[in-house]
């Protein structure tokens, strides 16, 4: 194959990798623009909406657990095709959904696609690209991942403009119908990149390393020749044969069997990688992206302003990732992770303090709402200015302090062992629908769902239990000025995350793990990463409903302190070091400090 054709094939590999990153980014970011309209039209409660958001992360956890084994069993290329098909199939399931179950199923498939892509595409690139192109491939994957998040936000913003125009017509029925169409359209727009990724994956060759491990030497050599010159392909094939011979020699002498996995060179980097991956999600990054529009609306911005804020938020992520890619080989992983985590702590504390200014004025009108419970153990409440004044008047002096100003209401309630939270309602929202508190919105429909909601619950007793209003929290709506201050603090958060953890975490994961445990170690660390992210997403809305956004952001900041200490004190610098040198570092003398 002529040289220009090989260069063209290498560029095509980078394009396919970029499409994989794009889909991964869409998986993370698409719900941010769709969530406000899904919340307004679906009839789901806060707990169910949290599960819809978290389902993509749960799916990612499931697929990440098996991605390494699947890649070894069926090959890298078929797994890339499978991941793309899962994404393509998930879109119509979600966009045509008219119920909670199909929404969760579609989001689970979308998450499974993202989990497979996050493992197999970087693995495929590492095995297929030459050493001179490997760094570029990883960078493009990460860069287009942020582009996917930005593109999802941009689509959401454009639809938000149309929603604003329809709202001005003053027809609630038409506005409801358009909001329903809006969130479905956001998902439909993400379908073409998934189809292109599947087509691209069909056109690339299989990984030469995987083919060689399957004793398909000639096929491996042919795959190498698609992206390398004959001398380069000969040299790499010789290296594969030498490594295979060395491993066979070790196995025959018993050296590989006798070496314990509990040795220092395996334990320390494995623990470090797991801590870094867990802390990376404990910054709240995925939930802040997924709930960004909702956060900005609650901070004081209008729906349209919140969507513009989300677009700017994702643009900061996209642009600062370029800076991180340029700096990572100059300043090093340790430096960027240290600076990035420090900036994240400061920005999260600022965001929490901004929310605290209004949330400290919140009033609990629990008794007043409890008195509204009817004989059927349910409540229907249209929260407008008149109802808000009545509830605040019943709350005494604390309620008087925030009367005659826009407020929001969230009700935390329970039937027996199960609790739920209503969607946030604003007194100034003229098109708002009544808050409906019913047993069906709280108590699971079957024992399986009940077990995962509360393993120690009594479902039968909860089906007969009276409605108990645990909290009815009324909070003054902050000013637009406060909303933009929150947006700016989140932009700063995103900038520090993108230039530090966003770029470095994948490099740290792959570089820290020794060769012998790299595939299984990466799977476990990524599983922990996704498990933390899923847990945070699932508890996000119920937590902020009861304790406020300030408490959530302060919690994220506390977790990031652990990240900062790990990066500064324990993480070695891996810039410019071979994988063998890094492995030797962890095998050093027992007195050596990291």
Long-range own/partner contacts, residues 199-203 (CB < 8 A, 24 or more apart): 200/12, 200/15, 200/16, 200/19, 201/16, 201/77, 201/80, 201/81, 201/84, 202/81, 203/12, 203/16
407-415/363-364 β-pairing? unpaired
Cα–Cα distance measured from residue 569 to residue 593, given in angstroms and rounded to the nearest whole number: 9
Residue 495: predicted pLDDT: 93
User: Is 496 exposed, middle or buried, given 0-12, 13-18 or 19+ CB atoms closer than 10 A?
Assistant: buried
More confident: 568 or 544: 568
| pLDDT at 554 exceeding the cut of 90 | yes
DSSP state of 171: -
Chain CA centroid to CA 263, Å? 33
| pLDDT at 590 exceeding the cut of 60 | no
Q: Which range in 286-300, 310-324, 326-340 is most confidently predicted, on average pLDDT?
A: 310-324
CA torsion through residues 147, 150, 155, 158, sign: negative
Count other Cβ atoms within 10 Å, centred on residue 291: 26
The b-or-e profile of 465-474 (16+ CB within 10 A means b, else e) is bebebbbbbb
Please state, for a pLDDT cut of 90, what percent of the chain lies above it. Answer: 11
Residue 164: predicted pLDDT: 77
Residue 515: predicted pLDDT: 54
Q: Does domain 1-204 have CATH number 1.20.1250.20?
A: yes
Average pLDDT of the chain is 79
* Least confident range of 252-261, 273-282, 385-394: 252-261
Which of 498, 528, 505 lies closest to 122 in space, CA to CA?
A: 505
What is the pLDDT confidence band of residue 561, given thresholds at 50, 70 and 90? very high
Residue 256: predicted pLDDT: 47
Q: Is 396 helix (H, G, I), strand (E, B) or coil?
A: coil
Residue 92: predicted pLDDT: 93
CB 284 within 8 A of CB 496: no
Q: Where are the domains of the chain?
A: 1-204, 210-252, 363-401+406-476
| pLDDT at 466 exceeding the cut of 90 | yes
Residue 402: predicted pLDDT: 77
Q: Which range in 43-52, 306-315, 324-333, 344-353 is most confidently predicted, on average pLDDT?
A: 344-353
For 82-132, give the DSSP string. Answer: HHHHHHHHHHHHHHT--SHHHHHHHHHHHHHHHHHHHHHHHHHHHHHS-HH
Q: What does the pLDDT look like over 166-196, one tens digit per residue?
A: 887 878 888 888 888 888 888 888 888 889 8
Q: What does the pLDDT look like over 81-115, one tens digit per residue?
A: 999 999 999 999 998 988 888 888 998 898 899 88
């Amino acid at each position: 194959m002529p040289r220009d054709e090989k260069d063209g094939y290498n560029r095509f590999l980078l394009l396919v990798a970029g499409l994989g990153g794009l889909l991964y980014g869409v998986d993370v970011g698409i719900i941010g623009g769709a969530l406000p309209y899904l919340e307004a039209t679906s009839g789901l409660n806060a707990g169910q909406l949290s599960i819809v958001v978290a389902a993509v992360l749960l799916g990612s956890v499931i697929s990440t657990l098996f991605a390494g084994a699947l890649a070894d069993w069926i090959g890298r290329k078929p797994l890339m095709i499978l991941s793309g098909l899962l994404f393509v199939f998930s879109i119509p399931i979600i966009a045509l959904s008219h119920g909670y179950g199909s929404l969760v199923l579609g989001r689970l498939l979308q998450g499974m696609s993202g989990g497979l892509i996050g493992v197999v595409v970087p693995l495929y690139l590492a095995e297929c690209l030459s050493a001179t192109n490997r760094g570029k491939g990883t960078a493009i994957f990460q860069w287009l991942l942020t582009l996917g998040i930005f593109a999802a936000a941009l689509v959401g913003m454009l639809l938000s403009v149309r929603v604003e125009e329809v709202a001005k017509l003053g027809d609630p029925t038409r506005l409801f119908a358009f909001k329903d169409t809006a969130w479905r359209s956001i998902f439909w727009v993400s379908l073409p990149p998934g189809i292109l990724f599947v087509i691209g994956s069909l056109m690339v060759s299989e990984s030469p390393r995987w083919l060689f491990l399957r004793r398909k030497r000639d096929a491996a050599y042919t795959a190498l020749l698609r992206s390398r010159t004959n001398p380069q392909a000969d040299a790499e094939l010789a290296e594969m044969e030498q490594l295979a011979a060395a491993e066979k020699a070790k196995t025959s002498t018993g050296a590989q069997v006798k070496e314990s996995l509990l040795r220092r060179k395996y334990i320390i980097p494995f623990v470090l990688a797991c801590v870094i991956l867990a802390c990376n999600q404990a910054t709240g990054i995925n939930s802040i992206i997924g709930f960004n529009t909702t956060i900005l609306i609650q901070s004081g911005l209008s729906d349209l302003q919140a969507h513009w804020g989300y677009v700017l938020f994702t643009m900061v992520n996209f642009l600062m990732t370029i800076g991180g890619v340029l700096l990572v080989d100059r300043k090093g992983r340790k430096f960027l992770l240290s600076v990035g985590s420090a900036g994240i702590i400061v920005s999260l504390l600022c965001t929490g303090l901004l929310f605290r200014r209004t949330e400290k004025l919140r009033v609990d009108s629990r008794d007043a709402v409890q008195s509204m419970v009817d004989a059927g153990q349910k409540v229907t409440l249209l929260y407008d200015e008149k109802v808000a004044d009545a509830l605040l008047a019943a709350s005494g002096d604390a309620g008087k302090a925030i009367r005659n100003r826009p407020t929001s209401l969230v009700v935390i309630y329970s039937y027996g062992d199960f609790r739920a939270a209503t969607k946030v309602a604003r007194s100034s929202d003229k098109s708002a629908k009544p808050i409906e508190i019913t047993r069906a919105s709280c108590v699971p429909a079957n024992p399986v769902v009940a077990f995962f909601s509360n393993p120690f619950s009594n479902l039968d007793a909860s089906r007969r239990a009276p409605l108990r209003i645990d909290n009815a929290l009324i909070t003054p709506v902050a000013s637009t000025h406060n909303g933009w201050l929150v947006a700016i603090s989140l932009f700063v958060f995103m900038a520090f995350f993108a230039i530090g953890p966003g770029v470095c975490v994948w490099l740290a994961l792959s570089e820290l793990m020794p060769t012998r445990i790299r595939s299984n170690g990466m799977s476990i660390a990524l599983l922990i990463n996704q498990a933390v992210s899923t847990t945070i997403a699932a508890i996000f809305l119920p937590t902020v409903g009861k304790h406020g956004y300030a408490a959530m952001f302060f919690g994220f900041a506390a977790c990031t302190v652990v990240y900062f200490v790990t990066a500064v004190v324990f993480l070695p610098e891996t810039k410019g070091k071979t994988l063998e040198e890094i492995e030797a570092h962890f095998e050093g003398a027992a007195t050596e400090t990291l």
